Amino acid sequence: MNDPVDLISKAGAVLGDGESVMAAGIFARKDDYLAVGGAAAMHASRSALAASRGLTVRMLVAVTTGHIRLLDWITGSVPSEVLASFDRYATAVKVTRFGLSRHVELTDPASGRSLVLTGSTAPFVSESKGDKAVLRALTEAG
C-alpha cells in the first residue's frame, strides 16, 4: 500500500531531520507514446531512458518547504537516495491533464533543466492520494 503518510515517512528517512516533507507521491517519467510501440518496447525504453539520466522508472517525489526532491523508488524496497532536486520556489511547475493522469513539468529557469513526470488522480490507483497531495503542494502559492 502506498499510503501518503507512509510515503512521507519513507522520504523523511532519506532526507533526514533537516527537511520537513509536506507531501510525497510516486510518479514516473512521462512516456513518449509515439516513439515506441507495444508494452515490452515501452518498458525497455522507460528503463533505458531513466538509467541514462540517473533516475529510476518510478520515483518518490517529496515536496519540502524549500525543495522538490526525487528519490529512487523500486516496488518492494525503500528509497535510499536523492536522484534529483529542484528549488521549490525557483522551479516553474506546469501541470496538465491526461485522462486520469497528470503530467507535471518541472523547469529550472536558471539551468534550463527540465523533467516531465506522470502521476495519477484515479481513485482506484493506490498511489493517487499521495500524488494528489504532491500536485496540491506544487501548485499552491508559496
pLDDT, tens only, 72-105: 998 888 999 999 999 999 999 999 998 999 999 9
DSSP state of 3: -
Residue 31 phi, psi dihedral angles, 5° rounding: -80, 150
Strand 92-98, strand 82-87: pairing: unpaired
Would you place residue 34 in the very low, low, confident or very high pLDDT band (cuts 50, 70, 90)? very low
Between CA 140 and CA 89 the distance in angstroms is 11
Residues 4-139, CATH architecture = Roll (2.30)
SS3 124: coil
Could you tell me if 116 and 103 are in contact, meaning their C-beta atoms sit under 8 angstroms apart?
Answer: yes
Q: Which three cell numbers stand for residue 115?
A: 523533467
Parse the chain into domains and list their residue ranges: 4-139
Could you tell me if 59 and 27 are in contact, meaning their C-beta atoms sit under 8 angstroms apart?
Answer: yes
Give the closest residue to 90 by CA, choosing from 60, 59, 66: 66
User: 65 vs 1, which has greater pLDDT?
Assistant: 65
Question: What does R_g of the chain's alpha carbons equal in angstroms?
Answer: 14
Would you place residue 67 in the very low, low, confident or very high pLDDT band (cuts 50, 70, 90)? very high
Prediction pTM value: 0.86
